[in-house]
Amino acid sequence: MTEGSSLIRGLEGVVAAETALCDLDGAHGRLAYGGYDIDELARQATFEEVAYLLWHGELPKAGQLDQFTIALIAARPIPDALAKTFALVPKKTDPMRVLQAAVAILGMDDPDATDNWRAANVRKATRLTSQMATAICAHHRIRQGQEPVPPARDLGHAANFLYMLTGQRPSSPAAKAFDASLTLYAEHELNASTFTTRVVTSTQSDMHSAVAAGVGALKGPLHGGAGEAVMHTLFEIGEVANVDRFSEQAVATKRRLMGFGHRVYKAGDPRAAILRGMAEEACRQSGQFKWYEMAVKLHERINAAKGLIPNVDFYSAPLFYSLGIPVDLFTPVIAAGRIAGWTANIIEQYEDNRLIRPRGDYVGPKRRAYVPLRSR
C-alpha cells in the first residue's frame, strides 16, 4: 500500500468516477437521471425515454423516440441457438446464472461485439436491452415446459415483457406500474454491479463481457437479491395478523431483514416511496392485497422498533408478485431495467477511460526466506 493512504472498507464514500448519468443525493433522499428527478421520470416518462436519456444525455423528441422504439422492437428476437441452449439447461438452475450465460452467448452473435466505438456501443446497448428481456421470458417458459411467446411488435417494452412472460396482454395499469419499476431500477450510480461493469470496461474488454460480469454482481443477495428475500419473508409471515408477532421476534433475535436500509441513502430511498403507491394499486387490482398490507405493517413495525427505512426492493417484491412474476425472476427483472444504466456507464467509461486498479493493504507475514521442502 502506498505511503499516506488509508484503508476504506467496501470503498464506502470513495469517489471513483465522474458521471453525467445519475445524481444521487443520499443525505436528502433524492435521485435524478441526467438532471431529471426520478419521481417525474417514473410517473410521466416511459422506460424507452429513460434509456434514450441515459445513452444520449437528453430526452428524445417525438421523431427520435419513434425511431428508437422501432430499433428496440426490431432487436427483440433472440438467436434460435440461444433458445435451444435454454432447453439444455437444468430446470432448477438459478435464472441469474442462465441470464449471465445468455449475455455471453448474445455477444458471440452480435455483429458489433468487438467494436468499442460509441456508435457500435449504442447499437449493442439497444440490442441487449431488448434481447435480455426476451431471453429472461423465453428461458422461464422453456423451463416450465412451455413454448416461448414471440415478442409483440405493437407493445411497449414493459408491456411486451409481461406479455412474453405470461402469454397474456397486460392491463394498462399493470404495464405502467412495471414500466415505472424498470425506470426506477434503470440507473443508480456506482452500485456494486455498475462498478463491476466499469472495471471490466476499463480493461478495454467489450460490452457483453462487462454486462455479463454485472449480472454476476447483481446476483448477490446483498445487491439484487434483496427483493426475493423480502417476498420470502412475506411468505414466512403468511397473514397480516402474524406481522406483530414476527416483528417482535425479529427485533428480539436481532434478525437481519432484507429490504431495509441502504448504504448511501440516509433520508430514505425515494424509489421506495414511489413503488409503495404502485404496489398498493397493483396488489389491489390483482386480488392479492394482503401482500401489500403485510409489507406496510412490517415496514411500520420495524421502523418504529429500529428506525429502519425500506429501500426500493422492499415494495418491488409485492408489486412484482402481483404482476405474475415468479419470485426467482425478481433479480433478472432488475437486470432488465438496470441494463440501461449498465450500458450507459460502459459507454461513459470508454469515452474517458483509465484502467481501474486500486491497491490492497497487505496484512500478512513480514518478508521471510524460502525454506526448502526437505527442511520444513
CA distances 184 to 12, 72, 230, 247, 273, Å, are 23, 19, 18, 28, 11
The one catalytic residue among 139, 157, 188, 262? 262
Please report how many Cα atoms fall inside a 13 Å half-sphere around the Cα of residue 100, on the Cβ side. 18
The whole-angstrom separation of Cα 376 and Cα 205 is 44
Residue 22, strand partner residues:
33
Residue 25, strand partner residues:
30
CA distances 46 to 157, 167, 318, Å, are 9, 22, 22
The whole-angstrom separation of Cα 206 and Cα 142 is 29
CA distances 351 to 118, 194, 198, 236, 258, Å, are 8, 16, 12, 48, 36
Beta-sheet pairing, 22-25 with 36-37: unpaired
For 115, the grid coordinates are: 467494436
Known catalytic residue at 140: no
Q: Give me the residue label for grid cell 438459478.
A: 94
H or E segment to which residue 309 belongs: none
Known catalytic residue at 262: yes
The whole-angstrom separation of Cα 125 and Cα 340 is 7
Q: Residue 25: what are its φ and ψ, rounded to 5°?
A: -105, 90
Helix axes 226-237, 289-306, angle to 10 degrees: 100
The one catalytic residue among 110, 112, 179, 313? 313
Q: What's CA 350's distance to the chain center, in Å? A: 22
226-236 core/surface letters (b: 16 or more CB in 10 A; e: else): bbbbbbebbee
The whole-angstrom separation of Cα 188 and Cα 211 is 15
Please report how many Cα atoms fall inside a 13 Å half-sphere around the Cα of residue 47, on the Cβ side. 32
**Residue 274 burial class via C-beta count within 10 angstroms: exposed 0-12, middle 13-18, buried 19 and up:** buried
List active site positions. Answer: 262, 313
